[in-house]
Amino acid sequence: MERFDVAIIGAGPAGAAAAISLARKGHSVALIDKEKFPREKLCGDFINPINWPILRELGMEDDILATEHEKVTAFRITACSGEEAEARLPSRKEQADFGLGMRRWSFDYALLRKAERAGVAVFQGGKVKKLKRCSQAWSVAMNHSATIAELRADILIAADGRNSWLAHRLGLTGAAEMHGRSVGFQLRLQVADVTHGRVEIHLLPGGYAGVVGLGDGTVNLCLAMEKEKLPHQRQVEFLWNSCLPHNPYLKELLRRSVRVGEARSTYPVYFKPRRCFADGVLLVGDAARVSEPMSGEGIYFAMKSGLLAAETVGEAFCSGDFSTAHLGRYERKCRRAFRFRRGINSLVRNLIYRPRLLAPLVRFSAKQGRLLDSLVDAICTPEPAR
């Protein structure tokens, strides 16, 4: 049985960021994921400029820029009635003033390889089967390479997504978590004569669609639609033929597009945060329900929570205290770090489903750009480095 300081279940941005940070602090880390990378992931595929300080902290800036991407320098919003407004992404001295359109297939794999280079023991295709608390440590049994492998760790970090197996196992979930207003979809499109450089939000009856180019002649089309407006079957065909064409800009995009790859869906799209700590355990990213998909900040929330978890775990090892009371400081750190951005996202989410109110705001922003500029600036300006 191998022994580690920390075992992380889930190797997405939250888990990988925590693993890299902890390995650099000198801790032995096991990073476990049931999938084999690279793998697809439902996401808006927009790397918001607020991620640059974190990527630099992880030593990932050059790796990400060397990966296939599209440079994004502007934001655009449109309404079904034809109104549209555009804003440049904020520019600050000595800071990147652009975002990226990039497949999670590539982004997550680059993070995983960075973790391996940092000395993290990576177990791809490792599905956790049993979990046991014994002698102030955790015993983890998993299917790996057609055998049952076991390891032991002083502390666990759950980064295994919104339907976290570990959160369910520890009783940190509730029945109401599986109910929500909207269903999320992702379509990848091959587009003729694609010229982008923008991340776009297109309003629809009962929801919205996000569009960003990926640098390879394709675009990611991600949607959030009210569940009650969707049929029980053939939902993607309904969206393609009956819903998306309500927006003239999307109608034109579909006319020039061919769907490639599989359509993906998830439910619910929005969720309230859950308790993210227990005795010897922290939850990060979607497992902690810290992510917010509305404004393209999901990857930021995930990686930032991973870094805050690594910081808290480092403090726990210094004090030798892995108790619930001690690890509760992680949740307080997340609350302080995300309070402002969660407030903005709550406001935007409430507006997005009120087209009669939002369409005039889009029209006003087209004439007087300061309103949209201020919103984009708040969402996309990186925080000062610590």
Is 262 found in the same domain as 312?
no
Which tokens belong to 193? Answer: 């004569």
Q: In terms of domains, do 252 and 220 share one?
A: yes
Assign residue 326 the CATH number of its domain. Answer: 3.50.50.60
> Are 339 and 192 found together in one domain?
no
Q: In whole angstroms, what separates CA 115 from the centre of its chain?
A: 18
C-alpha separations of 213 from 159, 188, 200, 250 in Å:
28, 10, 10, 14
Residue 19 lies in a domain: yes
Contact at 8 Å (CB) between 4 and 152? yes
Owning domain of residue 185: 68-101+181-269+353-386
At 253 the three-state DSSP class reads: helix
CATH number assigned to the domain comprising residue 78: 3.30.9.100
Q: How far is CA 325 from CA 71, 278, 328, 332, 373, in A?
A: 44, 8, 5, 12, 42
**Residue 62, domain member (yes or no):** no
Number of H helices, E strands in the chain: 11, 18
pLDDT tens-place string over residues 250-296: 999 999 999 998 999 998 887 777 889 999 999 999 999 876 666 78
179/176 Cα distance (integer angstroms): 6
Q: Which residues are 210's β-sheet partners?
A: 201, 222
Secondary structure element (H or E) that encloses residue 154, with its range: strand 147-158
What is the pLDDT confidence band of residue 224, given thresholds at 50, 70 and 90? very high
Q: Which residues contact 154 (CB under 8 A, 6 or more apart)?
A: 4, 5, 6, 136, 137, 138, 280, 317, 322
Residues 250 and 367 in one domain: yes
What is the structure's pLDDT at 177?
61
Q: Is residue 381 part of a domain?
A: yes
Q: In the prediction, which pLDDT does 139 show?
A: 95
Is 326 found in the same domain as 294? Answer: yes
Given this model, what pLDDT does residue 291 score? 67
Whether 160 has a pLDDT exceeding 70, the answer reads: yes
What pLDDT is attached to residue 310? 98
Taking the whole predicted model, whether its pTM rises above 0.85 is answered as yes
How many Cβ atoms are within 10 Å of 240's Cβ, its own excluded? 18
- Does a cis peptide bond (omega within 30 degrees of 0) precede residue 245? no
Residue 338 domain-assigned (yes or no): yes
Are 126 and 30 in a shared domain?
Answer: yes
Say yes or no to pLDDT of 98 above 90: yes
- Asked whether residue 205 falls in the same domain as residue 324, the answer is no
| Better-predicted residue by pLDDT, 144 or 154 | 154
Q: Looking at the structure, do residues 138 and 113 belong to the same domain, yes or no?
A: yes
Same domain, 330 and 237: no
User: Same domain for 190 and 300?
Assistant: no
* 51 in a structural domain: no
Q: Which of 59-73, 81-95, 325-339 has the lowest mean pLDDT?
A: 81-95
Res 330: pLDDT: 96
| Domain identity same for 229 and 370 | yes
Residue 307 amino acid letter: L
Ranges 151-165, 269-283, 345-359: which has the least confidence: 345-359
The mean-pLDDT minimum among 38-42, 226-230, 243-247, 371-375 falls in: 371-375
Tell me the DSSP string of 306-348. HHHHHHHHHHHHHHT---HHHHHHHHHHHHHHHHHHHHHHHHH
Which of 111-125, 215-229, 271-285 ranks highest by mean pLDDT?
111-125
Q: Is the pLDDT of residue 338 over 80?
A: yes
Q: What percent of the chain has pLDDT over 90?
A: 68
For the chain, how many structural domains are there in total?
A: 2
Compute the distance between CA of residue 168 and CA of residue 285 in angstroms, rounded to an integer: 15
